[in-house]
Structure 1
Amino acid sequence: MTEAADVIVAATADDPAVRAGEASAAAAVAAGESPPDVPLTDLTAAAFFDVDNTMMVGASIFHFARGLAARKFFTTSDLVGFAWQQVKFRVGGRETKYSTTTGRDTALSFVAGRSVAEVLALGEEIYDELMADRIWAGTRALAQMHLDAGQRVWLVTATPVELALIIARRLGLTGALGTVAESVDGHYTGRLVGEILHGPAKAHAVRALAATEGLDLRRCTAYSDSINDVPMLSAVGTAVAVNPDSQLRDLAKQRAWQVRDFRTGRKATRIAVPSVLGAGAVAGAVAAGLAYRKK
């Protein structure tokens, strides 16, 4: 994994969302592209997929946090506590001062001092244990459609970039844009570069990557389930709402965006609670472990 100190050039913008987007794009480029055996015949078009409830049932960061809690990174009561903060955010429908401040200032603080290699290894284990069976087959097929057309496919998520890259590699995708946690000499400092990759930051990341990779955003496609991702969806030529929340469904209808819904009655009901509990796109479930204890 590339360290932030090695791949992130000093951002001239004061906006944390811009810094987060640029940092994420730089990390994605530095990580390289995969899989190498897939021929690229359409170099100016690409697809960008949100992860939580778009590519995966529930929130990837919450599944990751569950795995870390099982390994005593923090307690189960901590997990319940910051999950409740996410419930309040999801139900309230907007970012609170607590969620944005926590996400920016204390994200990943509980892994401060731990090695990037250790967290990567745990991410591989946790993907196999808690995530592999949660991939939406329909969304995976959409990603494969772009790969078969010779286009590159990136995940775009608030999840830490290390975990996002693991998911992308396991799905055979090109790479991932995710939240960048600062690391020095192979160990996390407990700080972020910019902020959580959420909302406008995702759009900045997509634009920065497009500029580096020579993509024509008018020929690109973005997929998401959330109204929070409208900036990213609006940055490309084709927007697709996948398993959309009610606000995004309404907006998609207004803007004549495509809608793909892979949920069915019982499944939609079954995933409703974990989806809400895992709505860590803003504060980030792993970001809140130490923060909740301090609170």
Structure 2
Amino acid sequence: MPVMMNLALFDLDHTLIPADSDYEWGCFAVRHGLVDATHFKLENERFYADYQAGRLDIHAYLRYALAPLARYSRAQLAAWHAQFMQEIITPLLRPAAFALIQRHQAAGDVCCIVTATNSFVTAPIARAFGINHLIAPEPATLNGDPTAAYTGEINGLPSYREGKIIRAEAWLQSLDKNWTSFKQSYFYSDSHNDIPLLEKVSTPIATNPDDKLRAHAQSKGWRILDLFKTS
């Protein structure tokens, strides 16, 4: 009888990195003149506050976040993102996060980042962590060509709150698997917005949790991991 693998799912922002990559990309865009500074900064901060408060309109946010991508070529955006990685993200990659991921990989677990931040921002970060699977909101492209220019719209269901469960299950189905295919399923997250997926897996781990999630985790007896305190 074959040995069952485990599944390890990771949120990204404030979970594997001690920052919000979407917010940081917005700040980068302002500093480098990709967008109108005054308007974009105000909207970026407003949406971020809504996310923290659990009242984010994810579709409105994604339309706002992805609109600037439609104004530039893929080559120019790739160059800016490489600069963003070097200046902002690489200094945020902590040994404790790499060690956590590598423990799961060494055990043969299937690892995947499940994030509400769009794949333009997050795909290079997932690669930097050595994680091959990413579930993230997908920016739409002209005629559905993955190499074509972005349209500023979203393609498919955003992986946010309950949407993370739906997207995760669709991804598992694409691998001919489901939740019962794994001996254990883990999900690491910092946010109370991720309580639906945390309650879906067999082993929820509140990681660097916000106050609401910490209280919920304590009430449920979940493990709490403060990943960055010693890194």
Bin of the TM-score, shorter chain as denominator length? 0.7 to 0.9
How has the CA–CA distance of structure 1 residues 87 and 162 changed in structure 2, closer, same or farther, with 3 Å as cutoff?
Answer: closer
- Other-structure match for 1:213: 175
1:182: how far off?
A: 0.5
CA shift at 1:216, angstroms? 4.5
Note the alpha carbon deviations across 1:31-52, whole angstroms, 9 max, x for none: xxxxxxxxxx977422111111
Give the alignment of 1:230-245 within 5 angstroms.
Answer: 230-245=195-210
Map of 2:192 onto structure 1: 227
- Aligned position for 2:55: 95
| Contact 2:96 2:228 (C-alpha < 8 Å) held by counterparts | no
Q: Which runs of 5+ in 2 are unaligned?
A: none
SS in 1 for 2:114: strand
1:242 is matched by which residue type in structure 2? T
Change (3 A) 1:177 1:205: same
Q: Which amino acid aligns with 1:227?
A: H
- The alpha carbon displacement at 1:126 in A equals 0.6
Q: How many residues align?
A: 223
CA contact (8 A) 1:182 1:189 kept: yes
**Equivalent position of 1:177 in the other structure:** 135
**Contact 1:54-1:136 within 8 A present in 2 as well:** no
Q: CA deviation at 1:166?
A: 0.5
Choose from 128, 146, 153 the match for 1:191: 153
TM-score, normalising length: structure 1 = 0.68
Could you tell me whether the CA contact under 8 Å between 1:107 and 1:192 is conserved in 2?
no
Task: Work out whether residues 42 and 150 of structure 1, in 8 Å CA contact, stay in contact via their aligned partners in 2.
Answer: no
Given the two structures, how large is their TM-score scaled by the length of structure 2?
Answer: 0.85
C-alpha deviation, 1:147, in angstroms: 0.7
1:158 aligned counterpart, secondary structure: coil
On the 8 A contact 1:45/1:215 being kept in 2, the answer is no
The 1:177/1:121 distance shift into structure 2, 3 A limit, reads farther
CA distance in 2: counterparts of 1:53 and 1:261, whole angstroms: 11
Structure 1 unaligned regions, length at least 5 = 1-40, 268-295
| Matching residue of 1:47 | 8
One-letter amino acid matched to 1:171: F
Deviation at 1:114, TM superposition (A): 2.9
Deviations along 1:156-193, one digit per CA (max 9) or x if unpaired, are 11221132210111111123111111001501111112
**RMSD (Å), alpha carbons:** 2.6
Query: Partner amino acid for 1:163?
Result: V
Preserved CA contact (<8 Å) 2:206 2:225: yes
For 1:205, the aligned partner's letter is R
Which residues in structure 2 correspond to 1:20-169 (within 5 Å)? 44-86=5-47, 88-89=49-50, 93-95=53-55, 99-100=57-58, 102-103=60-61, 105-169=63-127
CA deviations on 1:56-85 (whole Å, 9 max, x unpaired) are 111001222222223321133234302331
**Percent identity of paired positions between Structure 1 and Structure 2:** 24
- Paired with 1:214 and 1:101, the residues of 2 have a C-alpha distance of 29
Which structure exhibits the higher relative contact order, with contacts defined as CA atoms closer than 8 Å and separated by 6 or more residues?
1
Q: CA deviation at 1:249?
A: 1.3
Residue 101 of structure 1 and its aligned partner are, at CA, apart by 5.2
In structure 2, relative to structure 1, the CA distance for the partners of 1:165 and 1:90 (3 Å cut) is: closer
SS state at 1:159 partner: coil
